Structures are given as structure tokens and as C-alpha cells.
Amino acid sequence: MSPSAPAATTSAHAAAAAAKSFYPLRYFFTPYCPFAHRSSIALHEVGLLTSIEPGSQSNGQLEVVHIDIRNKPDWYLRDINPKGKVPTLEITTGGKKEIMIESALIAEFVLQTHGSPIAIMQSTADDAMLRYRAGLVIDALSNQFNPGYFGLLREKDPSKQPAAKDKFLDAVKAVQAVLSHGGDYATGSRFTIADVIGAPFVARLPVLEHYRGFVVPDTPEYARFHAWKRALLARESVKATTAEMGWLIEQNKVNAV
């Protein structure tokens, strides 16, 4: 047995113990927000969220509350999240209530405390490399893909839109360049935190097609990106937590027009 095996087992046991002491209460978000979508996917993956409809879910374990981010309720700002952002996850841990913010942090917390392999928290050399590869994808998404998406969507000057399209296409290339081979997901055959982070924006590409006429070319040059896109959109947690596209397009009108 390799020296790293006991550490991995200990990590798994610690995660299981943490999950038993972590109890979700309320999940505040809007289906419109791609960042909130990350934590929704994670909650679905561990069985706490079955849909994005408001109300009680998972046999009463979690109360889902929609927040209108353009007209935030006073009680939300006062009692839940003074920053006014979504998502927010209210939990009890160690007998105390705690408010968790920031979508990527919430997603990782939920996955880790449930011992999900999606979080890549084992301490083997293979998992360390997998985590590194996932990190490369997350970096390209955070620094190029996501900003490029919003840059194109929010560019209302027609004379500047071609340059914004080129910049976003460069971002697509940057993400594709760090997608692993040996499978269709970001790091290969295994769905990981990199896919959780990337799926919400990939799922919203039709919004760019509607408002800016942008599509990733369906050519061999972009074959790896398209394979990743298909894998993400076929994942049950992504399908169940993505709002109806017509509604998403309408909600983004204020950004695009």
C-alpha cells in the first residue's frame, strides 16, 4: 500500500464526519445568476437540491428562497447578506447558525462535506495532478472566459462588438487549450469542480447567440470544446438547475440592449 493511502482514508472519514455535523437550512439565490448556478449544481450533486423551484426540498432538509437581485428585500440585506449578493447558504454547524457566501466557496464546501469525489480532496498523487488540471481550467474560466462572456453581452456599441466577439473566441481557445483528453469533461472522464465552475456560463451561450449572433464555430478546431459542452449539458445536475432559456434570454435583456 502506498504511503498516501492512509491519509486519503483519513480525509474521507473526516469529510463524512463533517457532513453529519453540517445541516443546511435555507438557500437564497436566483436562477438568473450564472455564479449562483455553481452552488446549485453542487447542491444537486449531493442530493440536497432537486430543482430550482422555491420551497422545501430534500425531504425538508433545505428551504429554497428566490431573491430578486434587482429588487432585493430589506430583510435579506438586513438579516442574511448585507452585501446583497447571491447565492447565500444558511447552515447549522456545531449547533450554531452560519451564513455562507461566494458561490465557488459554497460549492466546494458542500462537495467536501459530503465526501464527493467532484471536489478532488483525496491526497494521492493522481488526485493532486487532477486538482492541478482542474485549477488550470478554473483559472482560464475565471480570468478569460467569464469576463469575455460578460464583455460581449454588455457591449452595446455595434462598432465594438466584432472586437468583443474576437476576444471571447480567444477565451474559448484558452479554455480549450487546458481541457484534458481521455474523456469529455474538463479533466477527462471524471466530472469535477472545474465542470461545476464552467457549466453555468457554457449553458448560457444561447444568450450570446440571441443578442450578439455569437456561436463557437462547429469546426474541428473547436472539437474538444464542443465535446465538453455536450458533456456538461447532458449532466443531470446541470439540466435540473438551468433555468428555461427563454426566461434567461429575457432576464439578460437589460444587459444586452
| Domain range list for the chain | 17-114, 125-255
- Given pLDDT bands bounded at 50, 70 and 90, which one contains residue 59? confident
pLDDT at position 18 over 60: no
CATH assignment of 125-255, among 3.40.190.10, 2.40.50.140, 2.60.120.10, 1.20.1050.10: 1.20.1050.10
What are the tens digits of pLDDT across the range 108-156? 999 999 999 999 987 789 999 999 999 999 999 999 999 999 999 999 9
N-to-C CA span, the chain? 60
What are the tens digits of pLDDT across the range 226-244? 999 999 999 999 999 999 9
Least confident of 17-21, 151-155, 178-182, 205-209: 17-21
The single-letter code of the amino acid at 108 is E
User: Which CATH number does 17-114 carry?
Assistant: 3.40.30.10
pTM reported for the whole predicted model: 0.90
pLDDT at position 14 over 80: no
Mean pLDDT of the chain: 91
Concatenate the DSSP letters of all residues of 108-159 into one string.
Answer: HHHHHHTT-GGG----SHHHHHHHHHHHHHHHHIIIIIHHHHHHHHH---TT
pLDDT at position 8 over 80: no
What are the tens digits of pLDDT across the range 38-54? 999 999 999 999 999 99
Q: What per-residue confidence (pLDDT) applies to 21?
A: 61
Q: What per-residue confidence (pLDDT) applies to 121?
A: 82
The closest of 70, 97, 125 to 253, measured between CA atoms, is 70
What are the tens digits of pLDDT across the range 185-207? 999 999 999 999 999 999 999 99
